[in-house]
Chains A and B, each alone.
Chain A
Amino acid sequence: MNDKVLLMKGNEALAMAAIRYGADGYFGYPITPQSEVLEKLEEEMPWETTGMVVLQAESEVAAINMVYAGASCGKAVFTSTSSPGFSLMQEGMSYMCASEVPALVINVMRGGPGLGTIHPSQADYFQACKGGGHGDYHPIVLAPASVQEMADFVALGWDLAFKYRAVSLILADGLVGQMMEKVILPEQRPRRTEEEIRKQCPWAVMGRKDMRPKNIITSLELDDDKMEANNHRFQATYREIEKNEVRFELVDTDDCDYLIVAFGSMARIAMKTMEMAREEGIKVGLVRPITLWPFPVQPIAEIGKRVKGILVPELAAGQLIEDVKLAVECKVPVAHFDRLGGNVPSPDEILNALKKELINA
């Protein structure tokens, strides 16, 4: 047995991966189903090894603003929360995107709206991808479907955030957070030195050395023309991200008659549906968006042209389906299936929906 293969929960893997990335700080407030992130960090005590700060803030509003401050200094800082807490963080998300600071935010979604339930949901899709805060902005949204991806997307999220001066959002759900699977964690990297941060983030506010020009991090710009120019710059970055960073997984799409588009835990369940369908002679393929924003428009559009129909199973009442319909420009039947409020479907429920909505429709 490979000693590097561990068994742990998605939330724990995420916390471990952040320490190993060389994170500078975590600021968070506990909420089920992601409390293991803070718990694992407290257990590991990285402040004694790498010097990473772990702080339980007084609220989610405080936590996201601590991240905003740390990120403004070019530090690798992050927070994690679940749906109701993520709503409280929307102001911070908008400010951070407007200030072009690189940060990592994790939302392990639970059933809503309101305080809702503590069980898995994907109903924050719009909030995550379409800007839950005000103004024209996008975080880069990564959707893990396994414990390994919970670990891997920490480094990916931060790398993208620093590359584009953007906010990366890992959009998981209670199932991926709570499930244990095998995982191989990345090697421990040292935290960046001050010199390295100055080199990587020349825009960061960390004291003027050698009398360089002043760095100011702010989202406020009262001159409309300058603010419009800022917006054009943000949009230019988003177009770059759309061009370079679309990620997705294709499963059995070469010969499929029907296509499923699903992300995160629903994609995992749908893969079982596909196995069951193949046993019955129904050829089903899957496009699993890994980046929800930027959305994998092109593979869905291309495969959409040669299938009889697309099913979009989601733990939401019709959110992901809008992007799928836009991708195929409604040229092929697109059907919806959901379970809501924290309930998770079995694989055969999805198969029955496929038959009812598309095959026997």
Chain B
Amino acid sequence: MKAEIIIAGFGGQGVLSMGKTLAYSGLMEDKEVTWLPSYGPEQRGGTANVTVILSDERISSPTLDAYDMAVVLNQQSLDKFESKVKPGGALIYDSYGIHQPPTRTDIRVYRIDATEATIQMNNSKTFNMIVLGAILKVNPMVTIESVLKGLKKTLPERHWHLLPLNEEALKKGMTLIKE
């Protein structure tokens, strides 16, 4: 098993922490993991991205330019990373604010209305868990149990009461995603 993923969007959207949650879930399953953020000035308000690799074997390069999956959460990221999905790979995009949808036909393209859903749920903080649910629906590289186990390990105990809300958001993401 090997999954090479890039998640990209606006700084502040939770891109890096979404990657971190995914990386921790991999850790819970004893997988090899790398998490490489964009750490430049762009993450403070501009675009941010993170490369996450989960594998059963030792990971060589933590940086790539072809991905099994690109998760793009704004138009700039879509423009930048659509061409970098491997043929046969997957592209997930949040429809909010997208005026030029993806055009490639040699990859699987999925749409998720995650921003819309958080507005309806009246809780913008569940956004990245909804998107993560969508990611796991397309590629079940880790189980939901591992995600929750990883969250529990990284969150201070005072936030544990939010775990059910996160689980709900993950499952919501799994139902919202459309091909």
> Does chain B have a CB within 8 A of A220?
no
Q: Is B24's CB within 8 Å of the partner chain A?
A: yes
User: What's the Cα separation between A274 and B60 when bound, in Å?
Assistant: 10
Knowing A5-B27, A119-B40, A174-B39 touch, does A180 contact B61 (C-beta < 8 A)? no
| Smallest CB separation, B158 vs chain A (Å) | 17
- Complex Cα distance A118/B62, Å? 18
| Residue ID in chain B nearest A266 by CB atoms | B61
CB proximity of B128 to chain A, nearest CB, Å: 17
Q: Give the distance to chain B from A35, nearest Cβ to Cβ, in Å.
A: 10
Stretch touching chain A among B29-37, B110-118, B167-175: B29-37
Q: Which of A1-56 contact B (CB under 8 A)?
A: 1-2, 5, 7, 32-33
Residues of chain B in range 91-114 having any CB-CB distance to chain A below 8 Å: none
Q: How far is the CB of A13 from chain B (nearest CB, A)?
A: 13
User: If A1-B27, A7-B24, A348-B65 touch, does A180 touch B60 (CB 8 Å cutoff)?
Assistant: no
Beyond A268-B60, A271-B61, is A32–B39 a contact (Cβ under 8 Å)? yes
Interface residues on B, range: 20 to 34
**Cα of A56 to Cα of B100 in the assembled complex, Å:** 49
Could you tell me the distance between the alpha carbons of A272 and B62 in the complex, rounded to whole angstroms? 9
* Chain A proximity mask over B64-101: 1 for CB below 8 Å, otherwise 0: 11100000000000000000000000000000000000
The chain B residue sitting closest to A268, CB to CB, is B61
- Do the beta carbons of A7 and B27 come within 8 Å of each other? yes
B34 with A347: CB separation less than 8 A: no
Name B60's contact: one of A7, A33, A272, A348 (CB within 8 Å): A272
Judged by a CB distance under 8 angstroms, whether A178 is at the interface is yes
1/0 per residue, CB under 8 A from A, across B44-68: the answer is: 0000000000000001111111100
Is A240 on the interface with B (CB-CB < 8 A)?
no
Instruction: Please indicate the chain B residues that have their CB under 8 angstroms from the CB of A328 in the complex.
Output: none
Name the distance in Å between A299's Cβ and chain B's nearest Cβ.
20
Is there an interface contact between B34 and A181, defined as CB atoms closer than 8 Å? Answer: yes
What residues of B have a CB within 8 angstroms of the CB of A180 in the complex?
20, 23, 33-36
- A residues near B66, Cβ cutoff 8 Å: 346, 348
Q: Which residues of B contact A274 (CB under 8 A)?
A: 60
Q: In the bound complex, what is the Cα–Cα distance between A180 and B150 (angstroms)?
A: 15
- The minimal Cβ–Cβ distance linking B52 to chain A, given in whole angstroms, is 9
* Complex Cα gap A174–B64 (Å): 16
Known: A118-B40, A119-B40, A180-B23. A272 touches B35 (CB 8 A): no
B33 contacts A7, C-beta separation under 8 Å: yes
- B82, chain A: closest CB distance, angstroms: 17
Query: How far, in angstroms, from A270 to B61 measured CA to CA in the complex?
Result: 7
A-chain residues with CB within 8 Å of residue B65 when the two chains form the complex: 346-348
27 contacts between A and B (CB under 8 A): A1-B28, A1-B30, A2-B30, A5-B30, A7-B23, A32-B39, A33-B39, A118-B39, A118-B41, A119-B40, A175-B36, A175-B62, A175-B63, A179-B35, A179-B36, A180-B33, A181-B59, A181-B62, A182-B27, A265-B62, A268-B60, A269-B61, A271-B60, A272-B61, A346-B63, A348-B65, A348-B66
Q: A346-B65, A347-B64 are in contact. List 15 more A-B contacts (CB 8 A).
A: A1-B28, A7-B24, A7-B35, A33-B39, A117-B40, A118-B39, A119-B40, A174-B39, A175-B36, A178-B39, A180-B23, A268-B61, A272-B61, A273-B61, A346-B64
Interface residues of B (CB under 8 A from A): 20, 23-24, 27-30, 32-37, 39-41, 59-66
Which residues of A are at the interface with B, using a C-beta cutoff of 8 A?
Answer: 1-2, 5, 7, 32-33, 117-119, 174-175, 178-182, 265, 268-275, 344, 346-348
Q: Which 5 A-B pairs have the closest CB atoms?
A: A271-B60, A272-B61, A346-B65, A180-B35, A272-B60
